[in-house]
Amino acid sequence: MEPTLEHSDQVVARVVAWHNRHPLATRISAEQVHSVGVVSLPYAVQGARVAPAVPAEPPAEPAAEPTPTPEPPDAGDAMVEIDTGLVPVATADAVAVPLPDRAPVASILDRALAAPETSAAAHAGRPQNSVDPTPAAPVERPDWATRQVLELPLRNGRRTWRAAWRQWRGQGAFRALFNDDFIAPLRPRVVARWVAVHGNSQRPLTEELPWRLIDADPERYIDEVDAPALPLHVLTAAIGVGDARRRLLLAPGPMGAVLGSRHWSRMRLGAATGVLGSLALTLFMGGMALRGGAALSAPAPVSAAASAPASAPTAAAAVAVRVEVPVEVGAERAAQEPVRATPAPANVDPRRGHFDRPTLVATLPAAQRQTLRTAGRALRADPAAPAPARVWALVSAPLADKRQSERIAAQLQAVALLQAVPMRAESMRAGAAWRAVFWPFASAALAQQARLALADKGLHTELLAF
């Protein structure tokens, strides 16, 4: 079945739709698609039927027209020529015959304007307005390019790995006969495999658009009866974005495949990279959070009771008390995962099973245990409180004025702030008089040293014990 013929505007619309379909490609318009045409590539197709070649007839030469015989002039219309060779004079009954046309003599202005054209024609090596007497020879095309294909082998059948392998090795029904690298950066082998699947035997365009014919490699061309050489046609177009240019190959048909690369948008690629990086970072942080939560929710291993150091038995009555501390784990987790860290009981032998182990501590009756507890409390009773120790202080002489006593107490307070132990200085009433008191001192010797130091400063005090 022959493909539906397309127009160049349909090819441009296909290219724009294919290019803008990718989310990371630069958006293009129809003005950026150009150089639409057809590319024909030679193939040796096994099982193809072609029409027999018709020998071309040589063009018939046009028959030469017979030269008309000139008629003798009429006697009545003849001119009388004078032998003198001057201006001919006609008779009264004769009609004047026009002289032959002569080329008009060009004026000086016309010749000056025509001088550049004349020089250009002379530079080209031929006179101006000259016509090439030999017409252009017709373009000679190889025999395989002009063959009419009647039928191609089926290419839409079930594809197996063996058929794909044979096609990749170039051993299938369609064998490429070219090796030209005409559409870089696509390699010829890639182009050959793609055209073998999507190429068509009929030219897909109705208009007289550019048509490129890829030459066949003489080393690959083998004229066989069962695998005739014939052309496979595909569409081609170019995309221009800025200074960059991409050449594409298109399979005929509105839904045909496209071979080539797109113009990628740097802005869209950067945005996609940022989104993928953020997603990967989110997944990584989520995995780390889940792993940390699982580690926190895992139960702590229960230490074995037998691993604790055993205490030596003492003469005092001691009671062996068995304390069981239940470890609460989530009901669902405890039901799903057994606690592997729980040690076996001390009275269970892994080889012999359960056995009774005698206790190492003597067991006493309850009454005797109570008596021993009471005696222990009596022995541990607190001793009697010691008698309070004596305290020494330095006091000033009795003063009748309270303000003077407070002034001396302020001076003593300044000295108290410099001591290593907390000291107090205050004004106290002693009967009808007032005294400044500087205390406490732990011993009489310390108080005596402080009294002598104050005396050197002009403060006279007395040592007092209380």
Over residues 427-449, the pLDDT tens digits come to: 999 888 999 998 888 888 988 99
Identify residue 262 by its one-letter amino acid code: R
Q: Where does 375-418 show beta strands of DSSP type E?
A: 392-395
- In percent, the amount of the chain with pLDDT more than 90 equals 17
CB crowding 384-393: b at 16 or more within 10 Å, else e? eeeeeeeebb
Determine the Cα angle at 152 with ends 189 and 159, to 5°: 60
Q: Is the pTM of this model over 0.75?
A: no
- The answer to whether 196 touches 167, Cβ cutoff 8 Å, is yes
- Distance between CA atoms of 56 and 140, rounded to whole angstroms? 13
Classify residue 240 as exposed, middle or buried by CB count within 10 Å of its CB (0-12, 13-18, 19+): middle
Identify residue 410 by its one-letter amino acid code: A
pLDDT of residue 86: 42
- Distance between CA atoms of 4 and 297, rounded to whole angstroms? 70
The residues, ordered by sequence, that sit 6+ positions from 53 with a Cβ below 8 Å of its Cβ are 143, 147
Higher pLDDT residue, 205 or 391? 391
Look-up of token digits 């039901």: 335
User: What CATH class does 392-465 carry?
Assistant: alpha beta
Classify residue 427 as exposed, middle or buried by CB count within 10 Å of its CB (0-12, 13-18, 19+): buried
* Domain chopping of the chain, boundaries: 8-51+141-267, 392-465
Determine the Cα angle at 208 with ends 202 and 213, to 5°: 60
Task: Dump pLDDT digits (tens) for 9-50.
Answer: 889 999 999 999 999 999 999 999 999 999 999 888 876 666
Task: Dump pLDDT digits (tens) for 405-433.
Answer: 999 999 988 888 888 788 889 999 988 89
- The answer to whether 175 touches 189, Cβ cutoff 8 Å, is no
Look-up of token digits 């001119």: 79
Three-state DSSP class for 33? strand
Phi, psi of 148 (to 5 degrees): -95, 115
145 CA to centre of own chain: 46
- Distance between CA atoms of 50 and 46, rounded to whole angstroms? 11
